[in-house]
Structures are given as C-alpha cells and as structure tokens.
Structure 1
Amino acid sequence: MKALILAAGKGTRLRPITDFIPKPMVPIHGKPLLEWVILHLMSYGIQEYVVAVSYFAEQIENYFGDGTRWGIRIEYSHGLSPAGKAGEIWRCRELLTNEHHFLVVPGDTICHLNYHAFMDFHERQGGIASVALSTKYRLEVGLAEVASDSRITAFLEKTNLDRPVSTGSYLLESSIFPYIERFNPSKNEVDLPGDIFPVLLLEGQQINGFVSEYEWWDIGKINDYDTFAHMPVQQAKSILCSYKNVY
C-alpha cells in the first residue's frame, strides 16, 4: 500500500519560520518534521510514498530524493497553487493508478496512530473511506457550564474534548476519484471532509470512523512546534520514536 503525504501547504501559521522553508522541513531535534512522519510510517512497514509538494518543493525533493537513503521509494506530485485536500489527492491520481486503496496522512502532524490496526479496520469494514479519529484532543480554551440565572456552575480549564476528533489520516478506495472529479479540481480548491464526504454520505456511500485513544500533535501550529522545539531532547525523542526502533 502506498502512503500519500500532503506536504504542499505554505505553513502560514508558522510564519516567519516558513517564510524561508516549507512547513515539512522545519527542524525538530536534528531532523525535518517530514522525516519524523516518514519514520513513523516506515515502522509499520510502509515502503512506497507519494509526497504532494508545492511551496519550496525543491527543498523537500533535494533532501529526500527518491528515498534510497531510507530504503524506501518516494515519488512527487507537484502543484503551482493550493488545491485543497481532495484536490491534492486528485493531482496524485496517476501515481496511485494501481492502488485499490491508499493511505493519506498530513505532513505536519506527529501522531501515535496504529496504522496496522487502522488498515485492518478499513479492510474489515469495507466502504469507500475510513477516517482516523482520536479521543485524546485537549482543548486550548476553557469550558464553562452556565445555569439559567447566568451563574457558572462548573469550569473546566483546557480539558479533553469528549468526542472523537479527526487527525487528518484517511484510508481511501480508488473509487473516490470520480467523486472528486465532479468538483472540477483542476480549476477549484476541493476539500475532502468539507466537499467530498457530504456527497458520499448523501449518495449512500459508506464512510467508517476508526476511533482510538492515541495522542497527536499538529506541528503546523506555532504552539505545538514551540513545545517540541524547546522540549528536552530525550523527552522529545521518546515521543517521536515511541512507535518502534527506527531512529
């Protein structure tokens, strides 16, 4: 199975760092963010990758090349302008021609998702798409319970959200491409959960939710990046390398 890594964004939330380098190349304890993402996937036996690039694409390609240094195979899909998540998937279609289904992961997220369990779930459930959902999302704001007389009866500061949250990883069947094509992705930005999933549900297609209690960090946000960048090295590597011995 191929993994498609979405790494084309401009990383505006990480400016001014990303004024000079693409978001997937921001350094975290001696390696670019994207390398940590790939090492995680490699630990689950994934050997073939398609990387969707655009902004400062040459920096990513010059560093990773064809993947030989890691014993894997990397191909690239190029775009000159933002295409949306589904639009990026559409651009990669020719590189995914022979795949019955494929994995899609964000290039700016460190997560402890068990990809073997996710793949087994998708094959067992069937359906056109499966979405990885984590139950460990910590809110960055406080929650209040307010009575009818406007008095606060409880206040929860930065608590966990008690609902599954999408962490941006998907398993998709190749039969999803005609649905994306309807939105004319060569001319329009097309989102996967915002545009494609509602149409799939409306037409009775099965979308599954793989719910699991795993931690994840959106390094595309300056707060999470600062947390990792200033974390003691051994603590950071225990998170980054917790999957298997790939470091």
Structure 2
Amino acid sequence: MKIVVVAGGLATRMRPITEEIPKCLIDINGKPLIQHQLEFFKEHGYTEFIFNVAHLAEKVEEYFGDGSEFGLTIQYIDEGEELRGTAGSVKLDEDLITEDNFIVFMGDNLTSMDFDKFIEFHQQKGGVATICMRPLPAGYQSSSVITLHKDKRIKVFLEKPPMEEIEKYKDEKRFINSGIYCFKREVFKLIPPNTKYDFAKQLFPDIMKKKLGIYGYVTEEFFREIGRVEKYDAFLKEIRDKKKFL
C-alpha cells in the first residue's frame, strides 16, 4: 500500500529553523525527522511512498532521491508555489495511486502505531475514510471537536469552531485528529481539481454530509507532532541519548 507524505507546507511556525530546510528534514538525533519514520515504515513492510513537496522541495529530493539507497521507492509531486491545502495537495497524486486504498501521513508526525491494524480497521468498516485519532486528555484544550458513535463512525467533526460551540461538547468523550488517514481511492472523486481544499475543513464534512462512511480509529500508541519550535525543543529533550525511539 502506498503512503503519501504531505510535506509541502511553508512551516512558518518552525521559523527560523525552516528558512533553509523543509520541516520534514529538521534534525532529530542526527537524522532528518521523516527518515526516522520511513525507517519505521520499512521495518513493518511499507516501502512505497509519494512525497508531496513544495517549500524547498529540491532539498527533500536531493536527500532521498528515488529512495533506493534507503531500500524504498519514492515518487515526488511538486506543488510549486500554489499551495492547495491538504486535500488539494493529495488530489495531485491521483494518477500515481492505483490500489484500492492508500495512507496519508503528515510529514511532521512521528508514530510507532500499528499500521496493519489501522488498515484492517479501515477495510472492515468499509468507509471512504478513516481518521487515526487519540483520546482528548483531561484538561487539554483542543480547538476542534471530534466525537464518535459506538460503531466508531464519526458523529461530530468541527474544525476550529467558535468557543461557544466547543462548550456544547464539554461533557462528551472527545478525540484529537492525528493527521494520519486511510482512504479508499474513490475519495479522489470528492476533491475538486486545481482548488485549495482541506481535509478537516471541507473534505471530511462533505463525506459526512453525503453519508459515504468516515470512521475514527482510536489509538494511544506513541505519537508526536513536531509542528512548532517549542514542540521540537521539548521532543529533543524527551529523546536525549536515545538512538531509537520508534
């Protein structure tokens, strides 16, 4: 199964670090962030990748090439200067994906989750999309609202609604979107071409509205999102002296 790595953002929240290197290449214990994740994927039998790049795209291609030096197969989609949103970016991969299902992974994530179980869950449920999510920790303030039905269908998905809307769900069990998705290939039909289109703001609500099936896969396995300088600094302290953390 192919894995799409979304790595084209400007990474403004990681400046000045990302002024000269893309976020997916920031150093984690002597290796680029995304290399740690790719090595984890390879250990578990996932070797085919599509990198969606834009900001400093040439540096990613220079480092990984076609992936053969790492025992991988890597293709690239360069968005250029026209950033298209997360879903709009993945729409560009349509001709490169021929299998019935594929995974989308954000390039600033690190996780040791069991992807075999994630895919099995997605296929058993039979929906167009499955979102990997984590329980919202007690006392944690999230700007989004995600709740589930008993069968794990997504019940409520609100991306950065007004605070008064969030308050309505304060007593419900809520979850955090991990930015890891499994899709049926037919999802491409739902994403308009040449348009800025986002998973959370547009695609997922559209799937829910059309009742095409969107589910939440809940895991508490290791996960870190390195999207801000303070998160990066904290993670470096967390894994200090560890050669392997995935």
Fold shared per TM-score above 0.5 = yes
Change (3 A) 1:222 1:140: farther
User: 5+ unaligned residues in a row in structure 2: which ranges?
Assistant: 143-171
Contact 1:136 1:213 (8 Å CA) reproduced: no
Q: What is the correspondence of 1:21-100 to structure 2 with a 5 Å cutoff?
A: 21-80=21-80, 81-96=82-97, 98-100=98-100
Change (3 A) 1:120 1:87: same
User: In the TM superposition, what is the alpha-carbon distance from 1:162 to its structure 2 partner?
Assistant: 5.7
User: In the TM superposition, what is the alpha-carbon distance from 1:113 to its structure 2 partner?
Assistant: 1.9
CA RMSD of aligned residues (A): 2.0
Does residue 206 of structure 1 match 2:207? no
Residue of 195, 220, 227 corresponding to 2:234: 227
Change (3 A) 1:93 1:232: closer
Does residue 180 of structure 1 match 2:191? yes
Structure 1 CA distance for aligned equivalents of residues 128 and 230 of structure 2: 35
Q: In structure 1, what is the equivalent of residue 9 of structure 2?
A: 9
User: In the TM superposition, what is the alpha-carbon distance from 1:94 to its structure 2 partner?
Assistant: 1.2
Does residue 170 of structure 1 match 2:181? yes
User: In the TM superposition, what is the alpha-carbon distance from 1:139 to its structure 2 partner?
Assistant: 6.1
* 3-state secondary structure, aligned to 2:211: coil
Structure 2 CA distance for aligned equivalents of residues 48 and 24 of structure 1: 17
* 3-state secondary structure, aligned to 2:191: helix
Count residues in correspondence: 216
User: In the TM superposition, what is the alpha-carbon distance from 1:234 to its structure 2 partner?
Assistant: 2.9
* 3-state secondary structure, aligned to 1:201: helix
Q: In structure 1, what is the equivalent of residue 126 of structure 2?
A: 126
Higher-Rg member (1/2): 1
Comparing 117-126 and 35-44, the one that deviates more: 35-44
Equivalent residue letter for 1:164: F
Structure 1 CA distance for aligned equivalents of residues 133 and 235 of structure 2: 22
Deviations 1:14-71 (A, max 9, x none): 1001111111111111000111121222222101100000000010000000111111
* 3-state secondary structure, aligned to 1:117: helix
TM-score (norm: length of structure 1): 0.82
Structure 2 CA distance for aligned equivalents of residues 138 and 214 of structure 1: 17
Structure 1 CA distance for aligned equivalents of residues 135 and 19 of structure 2: 34
User: In the TM superposition, what is the alpha-carbon distance from 1:238 to its structure 2 partner?
Assistant: 4.3
Change (3 A) 1:141 1:135: closer
* 3-state secondary structure, aligned to 2:178: strand
* 3-state secondary structure, aligned to 1:226: helix
User: 5+ unaligned residues in a row in structure 1: which ranges?
Assistant: 143-160, 242-247
Change (3 A) 1:212 1:220: same
* 3-state secondary structure, aligned to 1:234: coil
Contact 1:136 1:214 (8 Å CA) reproduced: no
User: In the TM superposition, what is the alpha-carbon distance from 1:141 to its structure 2 partner?
Assistant: 6.2
TM-score (norm: length of structure 2): 0.82
Deviations 1:127-180 (A, max 9, x none): 1111101126586669xxxxxxxxxxxxxxxxxx96321100000011111110
User: In the TM superposition, what is the alpha-carbon distance from 1:232 to its structure 2 partner?
Assistant: 5.3
